[in-house]
Structure 1
């Protein structure tokens, strides 16, 4: 799947129109359209902002790593669990 299709899927999954996501990302609606149709190069910064705005970090990780979304979601959950295991004793002592 090309990145434009993934961006559109992420936006629609968040129930946002092109106008709404353009406003939230501070870009023009025409640039949203061009990104979704692969006519405009997607910068790393825009990709991160798009994923955060649509709450679709797992889909972005899947696209970057070229893996299924369920695999990316599992990867993110494992990272969160490992981080919590490492940080909890440290943070617990500070609280």
Structure 2
């Protein structure tokens, strides 16, 4: 997965549009688009802010540690779904 996809997934998961995300990141909407399309690199300080704004700091830790964030999220969702069905 490309880094931009992880950023987009975090933003969309937080229910934010690029227009809503831009002022919280102190950057124009066009920069948000470039970051999400891997046309521009994100500074470390901005990466931290991105995951604070989207309220998924664990994604930043996973990226730093080299963990596939999407695969882990899907696994957790599957496990929780199965657990809930087992209980009911």
Task: Find runs of 4+ consecutive structure 1 residues off by over 2 angstroms.
Answer: none
1:6 alignment partner in structure 2: 6
Bigger Rg, structure 1 or 2: 1
Higher relative contact order (CA 8 A, sep 6+): 2
Q: Distance in 2 between matches of 1:5 and 1:61?
A: 16
* TM-score normalised by the chain length of structure 2: 0.75
Residue ranges of structure 2 left out of the alignment (5+ in a row): 73-88
* Structure 1: gaps of 5 or more residues: 71-95
Aligned pair count reads: 71
Structure 2: distance between partners of 1:2 and 1:61: 16
Q: What is the TM-score normalised by the length of structure 1?
A: 0.69
2: CA distance between counterparts of 1:42 and 1:22? 14
What value does the CA root-mean-square deviation take over the aligned residues? 1.5
1:68, distance to aligned residue in structure 2 (A): 4.1
